[in-house]
Structure 1
Amino acid sequence: MLNFCQYRICSILLINLLIFLSKASYAQVSGSLLIPTVDNALNSRCLDASQTAASVVSLPSGRQIYSHNSLQPLLAASVTKIITTAAALHYLSPEYRFKTLFMHTGQRQGDVIQGDLIIRGGGDPKLSTEQFWRIATQIKASGINEITGDLIVDAHFFDAYDRAPSWEVDRTQQAYDAKLGALSLNFNTISVHLQPSDQVGEMIRTWLEPATPYIQLQNTAKTIHRGKTTVSAYRSPEESLGQVYLSVRGQLPIGSQEKVIRLNIDNPIRYAAETFKAILQQTGVKIDGMTKISYNPVAGQELYYHLSDPLSLILKELNTFSNNFMAEQILKTIAAEKVGTPGSHENGLKLVEEFLQLSHVNTQGVLLQDGSGLSRKNRMTTQAITDVLSSMYSRFDIGPDFITALRVMGANGVLSQRLAKSPARGQIRAKTGTLNRVSTLAGYVATPHGKVFAYAIFLNNNGCGPWRADRIEDRIVNAIHELGDNTIEYTASIAQ
């Protein structure tokens, strides 16, 4: 028989043995292949260790599997769109549709409206020339041939600020840098089509899409026999006598393929209005008056209204093409719908911050300055991103739409070639992000046995270049896919 003292010693030894075995099991977790594989990927010489972060969590538990600088505030670039997407679904719902309303003042007499035509913009980020043609055709089909008054744009849905306040005042003419507006068209860009002539020395063929008298094309580019393509396009920064001039210069070798240059528009609301006016006239509806823009509500009798696709489909396109314009339009729409018009970035960002709190996201170090991630004043952590991904994964009401909004990496789609040769192809949902010396990736990945992980990887101040940075991120995602099952099993056994 053991006396009390011996029994106590044995008990202590047994407890220490259990602790040792537990630590050994935990060491087995820490020493499993996933963790050193991720560590090794993040030890690349082209990375800045102090500005590199990663977070991996298992779902649906949200248990942290890997963490490296996960609370370090860094630039997320376009991964920021993950948060805008989640907040939009939360506040607006997957079935939300943007509404563009067409009204008129005065009275209709036969085929003539004795008054103004009003377009009330509703922030729709996907209005296109094709839709304008459909709307104009419907107005014509209703029997209207003339409008004696003005074309008035009611733009009160948004404030008058046409960019995120945190962006630099001087912007480029690139399509990704497009301005915002309650009434917008073609992502507030215009396409310049360029083809070489059949004869060397002649000017190249050029045309605009859409073609509108509001924008005048000035072409001095020449067709050459051989040599480097130097053709470029540039629009005048301001209107002159109610028009914008777009210049095409340089040279294009004979036999070259058609080239398309997309530029943003300096005054997007006027561009949309003038384009619609021109389309109306081409369908046979004459507007006698001028084009005017009002930031105050304008009343009228409803003539026609256009509804966008559901928000869930728009968000899919936003993330597939990483469209900055769409993200900022949606952020201001959240503000307009939930706080009131005019929708502003200030109110939209406050609502996003409230959403993060409601979603139990660790917002330590987080600072949001826009909805797209284009601003370098943004600060985000990988843990905040995986917290959002974890929260959305568990939401039946909007979670499926959120996951669908992310690109399927490595699938057969035109923009899904990255990771196409990965064993995880088709099992990865992701949002990419890129700025100068910044590469980011975040989303979900499933293992062969159906375990799902959320991950976020930020490579700030890296000297890798885009291709090498992508390979580092891909290596981590592949490691999660291939090695995640074992890590989860060990972690679960420890918890028990």
Structure 2
Amino acid sequence: MKKVLAAGLFSLLTYCFSMGMACAQNFLPVTVKNALTSSGLSFEQLSVSLIPLDGGKLNLSWRDHVKVQPASTEKMITTLAALELLGPDWRWKTSYSYTGTIENKTLSGTLFIKGGGDPKYVSETLWRDLSRLKSLGIDRIEGNVVIDRSYFEKERQDPAFKDDWDRPYTAPADAALLNYRSIAMTITPEKDRKQATVTVVPQLIGLVTPSSVKMSRQKGCVRWRQALELDLDDPLEPEFDGALPSGCDEKVLAYLAPDANQYWEMFLRTVASQVGLTWQGEVFEGIAPAESKLLFDVWSEDLGTIVKLTNKFSNNVLAKHILLSLAAKDSPGIPASYARARAIVNQWLQQRVGIGAGEILLDNGSGLSRQARVTARAMTRLISYGWKSPRMPEWLASFPISATDGTMSKRRVAPGYAYIKTGLMNTVKSAGGIIQARSGKRYAIFAAVQGKKATETDAPIDRLIEWVYLQG
């Protein structure tokens, strides 16, 4: 009976290929099965959907109806929706205003900095804007600085990831986000001295970091962050209780500052002193009043640029800001919420993309979530839609390229021919995107491995990409 079934499947495939049809295959390629088995994974831990985009002959469905956690492939949904609904030229505005008076080169009163959701407002941007205050003839500020975050609803970090709340990738959305609210220490080995130097740029007023850290005899560089044993009892005076493994090259260790206002205050003091602006006040959170007088508005980089950073490097906070901006545009003057943003994306998915309710359950847009769910077939439908979208060039250009850049830079599979957004979270590894096969035909693919040992290997998904590249 098995031989009869196998012969039947072979005949069906042969017929499909001879007729130029896309064969509806619901069994896994041998190389993928072998990769699952050798990795200690069951076939039921994998979900796959593969569909042709331009007349290719492969078509694979394997548990494609099962709801899985998308991890960071959720960013594919967020970014495509934003490119279509906001447009690639969308920019975020940060406003500087004040109450009080400006006389004799002194602003006497309160300086307001109102965030407009710019996800990439960094220290260099702050340096530019404080320099602009100087160019307006303000040499001194006598008063406090108020940060207005009312453009977005306040977000708290997800309790499901509490163990990693000190990691920048868990940062909450913040309408007045500065420098990703992170402090980055560059750790440079000096192996002849058996220690590593520690530097922070810029050197922040109020931040005291170790100048060096010991190096251990541990070979290799596995779990180097854990080996350093970073102590953040006082986040402004971090310490190392461990050592850097001797097998490590230079590393950058970043952590999330817990107090956003304190973080702003450190940077304002530091940058103000650099540009020659005198200020001795404090930073508070509040609302810029309607009667405050505008000094200037500044605009972010465009959405197309931010989307590329979001997907290439899987930046969670950028994705969160992009999603919330959909709600901000839809309801001006009302703090943007995830609930409203999800409703907008769900409507777009159903009415434009043609994906039924419940097949994609978005959460915060980044994929750092235990609640988000997708089916593989819905994701390839999304990719197929994106392939035909006017925003396809910007969207596809944001995907990591196999063996080339982003999160696919070290994946030596179909080098240069697979544009794949990856996802990784505890118990799930996922990938979705477009592969150009050797034949020149292109395919939309989505795959996810879930459960025990799912994150220990790239092999099953890599063998799948390889199979499409070679056989498609």
Shift of 1:231: 3.0
Shift of 1:189: 1.0
| 1:351 paired residue number | 344
> Are 1:362 and 1:387, in contact at CA under 8 Å, matched by a contact in 2?
no
Shift of 1:331: 1.6
The amino acid across from 1:184 in the alignment is L
Closer, same or farther: CA 123–111 of 1 in aligned 2, 3 Å: same
Output the CA distance in 1 between the equivalents of 2:24 and 2:279.
Answer: 67
| 1:481 paired residue number | 469
> Are 2:311 and 2:400, in contact at CA under 8 Å, matched by a contact in 1?
yes
The amino acid across from 2:446 in the alignment is A
Closer, same or farther: CA 387–137 of 1 in aligned 2, 3 Å: same
Unaligned 5+ segments in structure 1 are 1-20, 239-243, 485-496
Shift of 1:449: 4.0
Unaligned 5+ segments in structure 2 are 1-7
Is 1:377 aligned to residue 371 of structure 2?
yes
Is 1:232 aligned to residue 247 of structure 2?
no
Larger radius of gyration: 1
The amino acid across from 2:459 in the alignment is R
Q: 2:418 aligns with which of 422, 428, 436?
A: 428
Q: Mean Cα displacement is larger for which, 378-387 or 245-254?
A: 245-254
The amino acid across from 1:460 in the alignment is Q
The amino acid across from 2:255 in the alignment is L
Partner of 1:380, secondary structure, is strand
Shift of 1:179: 2.9
Q: 1:248 aligns with which of 234, 240, 244?
A: 240
Note the aligned Cα RMSD (angstroms).
3.4
Is 1:28 aligned to residue 15 of structure 2?
yes
Q: 1:264 aligns with which of 250, 256, 259?
A: 256
Partner of 1:319, secondary structure, is helix
> Are 2:131 and 2:275, in contact at CA under 8 Å, matched by a contact in 1?
yes
The amino acid across from 1:407 in the alignment is P
Q: How many positions carry a matched residue from both structures?
A: 449
| TM-score w.r.t. length of structure 2 | 0.84
Output the CA distance in 1 between the equivalents of 2:189 and 2:58.
Answer: 57
Output the CA distance in 1 between the equivalents of 2:286 and 2:56.
Answer: 49
Output the CA distance in 2 between the equivalents of 1:279 and 1:320.
Answer: 30
The amino acid across from 1:435 in the alignment is M
Output the CA distance in 2 between the equivalents of 1:198 and 1:456.
Answer: 44
Is 1:92 aligned to residue 86 of structure 2?
yes
| 1:360 paired residue number | 354
Closer, same or farther: CA 298–288 of 1 in aligned 2, 3 Å: farther
The amino acid across from 2:461 in the alignment is E
Shift of 1:317: 0.9
Is 1:326 aligned to residue 318 of structure 2?
yes
Closer, same or farther: CA 224–290 of 1 in aligned 2, 3 Å: closer
Shift of 1:27: 6.2
Q: 1:275 aligns with which of 264, 267, 281?
A: 267
Partner of 2:238, secondary structure, is strand
| TM-score w.r.t. length of structure 1 | 0.80
| 1:493 paired residue number | none
| 2:116 paired residue number | 122
Q: 1:451 aligns with which of 441, 445, 450?
A: 441
Is 1:39 aligned to residue 53 of structure 2?
no
Output the CA distance in 1 between the equivalents of 2:82 and 2:434.
Answer: 19
Q: Deviations over 1:311-349 (max 9, x none)?
A: 111111111111112111222222222234311222222
Shift of 1:461: 1.2
Partner of 2:72, secondary structure, is helix
| 1:142 paired residue number | 136
Shift of 1:59: 1.6
Closer, same or farther: CA 127–178 of 1 in aligned 2, 3 Å: same
Partner of 2:361, secondary structure, is coil
Q: Mean Cα displacement is larger for which, 229-238 or 330-339?
A: 229-238
> Are 2:27 and 2:61, in contact at CA under 8 Å, matched by a contact in 1?
no
The amino acid across from 1:401 in the alignment is E
> Are 1:184 and 1:272, in contact at CA under 8 Å, matched by a contact in 2?
no
Shift of 1:302: 2.4
Partner of 1:326, secondary structure, is helix
Closer, same or farther: CA 335–457 of 1 in aligned 2, 3 Å: same
Output the CA distance in 2 between the equivalents of 1:188 and 1:163.
Answer: 13
**1:3-402 residue pairs with structure 2 within 5 A?**
28-29=15-16, 35=25, 38-43=28-33, 44-45=36-37, 46-59=40-53, 65-163=59-157, 167-168=160-161, 171-195=164-188, 205-217=197-209, 219=210, 223=214, 230-236=227-233, 244-251=236-243, 258-295=250-287, 299-340=291-332, 341-358=334-351, 359-396=353-390, 398-402=391-395
The amino acid across from 1:477 in the alignment is I
Output the CA distance in 2 between the equivalents of 1:87 and 1:63.
Answer: 29
Closer, same or farther: CA 64–121 of 1 in aligned 2, 3 Å: farther
Partner of 1:183, secondary structure, is coil
Shift of 1:56: 1.0
> Are 1:220 and 1:250, in contact at CA under 8 Å, matched by a contact in 2?
no
Output the CA distance in 1 between the equivalents of 2:58 and 2:43.
Answer: 21
Partner of 1:356, secondary structure, is helix
Output the CA distance in 1 between the equivalents of 2:111 and 2:362.
Answer: 39
> Are 1:75 and 1:378, in contact at CA under 8 Å, matched by a contact in 2?
yes
The amino acid across from 1:395 in the alignment is S
Output the CA distance in 2 between the equivalents of 1:59 and 1:254.
Answer: 49
Output the CA distance in 1 between the equivalents of 2:192 and 2:62.
Answer: 61
Output the CA distance in 2 between the equivalents of 1:459 and 1:173.
Answer: 27
Output the CA distance in 1 between the equivalents of 2:261 and 2:343.
Answer: 26
